[in-house]
Amino acid sequence: MKLIVIAPKGKMGKLIVKVATSRPDMKLIYGIGPKGREYINKDLGIVCNLGEVIAVSVVDDLENVIEECDVIIDYSNPATSMEVFESSLISKKAVVCGTTGFSVDQLARIKEISTKIPIVYAANTSRVINLMYSLLEIAASAIGNTSDIEIIEMHDRNKKDAPSGTSKEMGEVIAKALDKSLKEIAVYGRQGECSRVPGTIGYHSIRAGNISSSHTVIFGLQGERLEITHHAHNWECFAEGACDAASFIYGKEPGLYTVKDVLNL
């Protein structure tokens, strides 16, 4: 499988390159960086701090090299990712996307594009996080209607979107189990004097230091509570999941796939 990695200088891009170089079923052919960066045309191994030359270049024009690849992995930003999707549509290339912060219209466009090319879209590619989604579905189905549900998520100081894409997916899983719409029941932060509105899901976003990722969902009942928590100690689990997704999507029919499909959960 010939692989292109978008934004290889980013925290996820570096790890994806590191994982991909260790996989016998993957051959990195290019990294794609923003135009004008000082590392354009340099070796991908050096740019990603692998400590060795891997004879793969970082370039700044996806359109010039996209025909050579089989799969693109993209963890960048919404604007860049939408350009990647549009280019991939033209060239009929598979995409694994872990970018978060898309607008409603952008998500609708991604879904439309997925009718023409295979896409794995996931706010979180961790195997354990996706197992947590299944646990949340079970808990919400069993006690969700009698619980006060709160989601607390923590990330590093540089994360731009809040709440996180992962916590939004968690809310969607819970809302679906309750036969409700997350848009109608989500509450983001609180201040002032007010009682909790029954049947809502409360979101609380913490941004501090270099926290990799932490998500806790609380089901609060009278006299007891259930907490389901996941902590990522670093981002390697997400990079491994991204490469698993690339292996999965290679050769698949068009469609919008999730990590549950990748892991057969």
- Tell me: do 113 and 242 sit in the same domain: yes
The percent of residues above 90 in pLDDT, for the chain, comes to: 84
> What pLDDT was estimated at residue 70?
97
**Tens-place pLDDT, residues 117-167:** 999 998 888 889 889 999 999 999 999 999 999 999 999 999 988 999 899
- Tell me: do 160 and 98 sit in the same domain: no
Residue 192: pLDDT band (50, 70, 90) is confident
- Tell me: do 221 and 180 sit in the same domain: yes
> What pLDDT was estimated at residue 224?
98
Closest to 158 in 3D by CA, of 214, 212, 230: 212
- Tell me: do 109 and 166 sit in the same domain: no
The one catalytic residue in 2, 27, 42, 159 is 159
> What pLDDT was estimated at residue 173?
96
> Domain of 161?
127-232
Alpha helices in 95-210 (DSSP H): 104-113, 127-143, 165-177, 182-185
Rounded CA separation 41/185 (Å): 49
The mean per-residue pLDDT over the stretch 18-29 comes to 96
- Tell me: do 216 and 240 sit in the same domain: no
Q: What is the DSSP letter of 199?
A: T
* Residue, of 123 and 40, whose pLDDT is higher: 40
> What pLDDT was estimated at residue 90?
97
- Tell me: do 221 and 241 sit in the same domain: no
Q: Cα–Cα–Cα angle for 3, 104, 60, nearest 5°?
A: 30
- Tell me: do 113 and 23 sit in the same domain: yes
Average pLDDT for the chain: 94
Q: Cα–Cα–Cα angle for 260, 264, 265, nearest 5°?
A: 60
As beta bridge partners, residue 215 has: 153, 230
- Tell me: do 71 and 132 sit in the same domain: no
**Annotation marks residue 168 as catalytic:** no
Residue 251 has pLDDT above 90, yes or no: yes
> What pLDDT was estimated at residue 87?
97
Total domains, the chain: 2
> What pLDDT was estimated at residue 229?
97
Sorted by sequence, the CB contacts under 8 Å of residue 20 that are 6+ apart come out as: 3, 5, 26, 28, 73, 243, 246
- Tell me: do 97 and 138 sit in the same domain: no
The one catalytic residue in 155, 168, 204, 230 is 155
> What pLDDT was estimated at residue 171?
97
**Annotation marks residue 9 as catalytic:** no
What CATH number is attached to the domain comprising 204?
A: 3.30.360.10
**Tens-place pLDDT, residues 76-99:** 999 999 999 999 999 999 999 999
> What pLDDT was estimated at residue 259?
87
What CATH number is attached to the domain comprising 9?
A: 3.40.50.720
- Tell me: do 96 and 223 sit in the same domain: no
- Tell me: do 12 and 114 sit in the same domain: yes
- Tell me: do 91 and 179 sit in the same domain: no
